[in-house]
Amino acid sequence: MTPSRKPARRKPAPSRSAAEQEALRATAFRTSRRHNAAETEEDYVELIDDLIRERGEARSVDMAQRLGVSHVTVAKTIRRLRDKELIQYEPYRAIFLTPKGKSLAERCRGRHQQVVDFLTALGVSTRAAEVDAEGIEHHVSAETLDAMRRFTRERRKGS
Amino acid sequence: MTPSRKPARRKPAPSRSAAEQEALRATAFRTSRRHNAAETEEDYVELIDDLIRERGEARSVDMAQRLGVSHVTVAKTIRRLRDKELIQYEPYRAIFLTPKGKSLAERCRGRHQQVVDFLTALGVSTRAAEVDAEGIEHHVSAETLDAMRRFTRERRKGS
DNA sequence: CATAAAGTTTAGCCGAGGTTACATTATCAT
DNA sequence: ATGATAATGTAACCTCGGCTAAACTTTATG
């Protein structure tokens, strides 16, 4: 009557290298979730760094505009980043990076550029490369980043 | 005394092609956030599809194990997916994909495999490719995916 | 056939990240 | 000097995706 009358007890799992495979997949999901969580703070410090370079200071109104988000969201997030000692600011004043924040920002900036360069070298348009990199950059392992760098260098030399 | 005594009014933005640049960046962030939001449902339907292929049915306890998450989280999520008509199930019974869910699952399966193949062709180890793909796959545009496919094909022919 | 074990659901908590509406502060211009 | 306006902050609310604890259903078994 109901669409399924399947048993509620577990079938014995296919017993090849199954356990390892399962574990690897669960790890992949967990890793991805962890990276998603770190994404916001990486984006914020990177953006603050950009703004300081471009106009000498970072202000929440500009951050909100660039992120495509309300200023309230920015306010809430930067409070959290301050608690984590990545940034520092006084009420109604501009935002600055702590040394810790600055080093994170620099790492992110480098990685971001590498991903963009890689995608471009692969033949992706500047526009798409910029958009995709924003999503991808937080999920590339050191190993993959290295392979990307190698490819970019070769491709440039070759052409 | 306070670390910053910078003005609270906006400086005129650097006026080159600034407006476009700003818009592009905000778009990149928005796109990335949108993809993050879609990530869960894509992962779930893909996983359900896998389980059905492997053992004929998808059950929440297995999903929880593969995702590395508690079974309660799975229960809550699948309720949402049912509301979105991606899956279908009765209480205490196995889970099935609706046509809509099935087509999403197939798209995701293809994309996932393509990203893994690409990373492998690039020289990344199987293990890292699997983990990174889980994060990356949700953020590749059609254009980038196409470039990846092209590269994978060439590289295979070449070697 | 009663009951234990496995699986599923419900209730309630939390933090992240988003919103609107409203309050406060700083700066600029008259 | 003060008043308008831009920027920032606060309050209250939402959804999503985690969690634990406890209740309930199904299935297997002694």
Which chain C positions have some atom within 7 A of a protein CB?
6-12, 16-21, 25-28
The amino acid at B124: V
Q: Is residue A58 part of a domain?
A: yes
Computed over every residue of chain A, the mean pLDDT equals 91
Q: Is residue B153 part of a domain?
A: yes
Q: 3-class SS at A159?
A: coil
pLDDT, residue A2, reads 37
Structure tokens at B3: 């670390």
Sorted by sequence, the CB contacts under 8 Å of residue A51 that are 6+ apart come out as A57, A58, A59, A62, A63, A66
Structure tokens at A141: 């392992």
B99-153 pLDDT tens trace: 999 999 999 999 999 999 999 999 999 999 999 999 999 999 999 999 999 999 9
Closest CA relative to residue A141, chosen from B126, B80, B67: B126
CATH code of B150's domain: 1.10.10.10
Q: Quick one: pLDDT band at residue A1, thresholds 50, 70, 90?
A: very low
Q: Is residue B95 part of a domain?
A: yes
Chain A residues within an 8 Å CB radius of B36: 36, 39, 135
Read off the pLDDT of each residue in A70-80 and give the average, rounded to a whole number: 98
Chain A residues within an 8 Å CB radius of B128: 141, 143-144
Q: Which residues of the protein are close to the nucleic strand D, CB under 7 angstroms?
A: A 5-9, 33, 59-61, 71-72, 75-76, 78, 89, 91-94; B 8-10, 37, 39-41, 67, 69-70, 72-73, 76-77, 80, 91-92
Instruction: Give me the residue from A35, A90, A134 closest to B135, CB to CB.
Output: A35
- The answer to whether residues B69 and B78 touch, using CB atoms and an 8 Å cutoff, is no
Q: Quick one: pLDDT band at residue A21, thresholds 50, 70, 90?
A: confident
pLDDT, residue A71, reads 98
- The whole-angstrom separation of Cα B19 and Cα B118 is 35
Sorted by sequence, the CB contacts under 8 Å of residue B46 that are 6+ apart come out as B105, B108, B109, B112
Task: Tell whether the torsion through CA atoms of A123, A125, A130 and A134 is positive or negative.
Answer: negative
Q: Is residue B141 part of a domain?
A: yes
Looking at the structure of chain B, the number of domains it has is: 1
DSSP string, A88-136: EE-TTS-EEE-HHHHHHHHHHHHHHHHHHHHHHHHT--HHHHHHHHHHH
Pick the residue from chain B with its C-alpha nearest to A37: B36
pLDDT, residue A20, reads 85
Q: Is residue B128 part of a domain?
A: yes
Q: Is residue A151 part of a domain?
A: yes
Which 8-state DSSP code applies to residue A10?
P
Structure tokens at A144: 């993959």
- Lowest average pLDDT, out of A1-10, B11-20, B51-60, B125-134, goes to A1-10
Q: Is residue B99 part of a domain?
A: yes
A109-149 pLDDT tens trace: 999 999 999 999 999 999 999 999 999 999 999 999 999 99
Report how far apart the first and last C-alpha atoms of chain B are (Å, whole number).
65
B14-42 pLDDT tens trace: 555 778 888 899 999 999 999 999 999 99
Look at A144 and B132 and tell me if their CB atoms are within 8 Å.
Answer: yes
Q: Is residue B133 part of a domain?
A: yes
- The whole-angstrom separation of Cα B106 and Cα B115 is 14
Instruction: Give me the residue from A31, A135, A143 closest to B31, CB to CB.
Output: A135
Identify the domain containing residue B34 by its residue range: 24-158
B97-113 pLDDT tens trace: 999 999 999 999 999 99
Interface check for A1 against chain B (CB to CB < 8 A): the answer is no
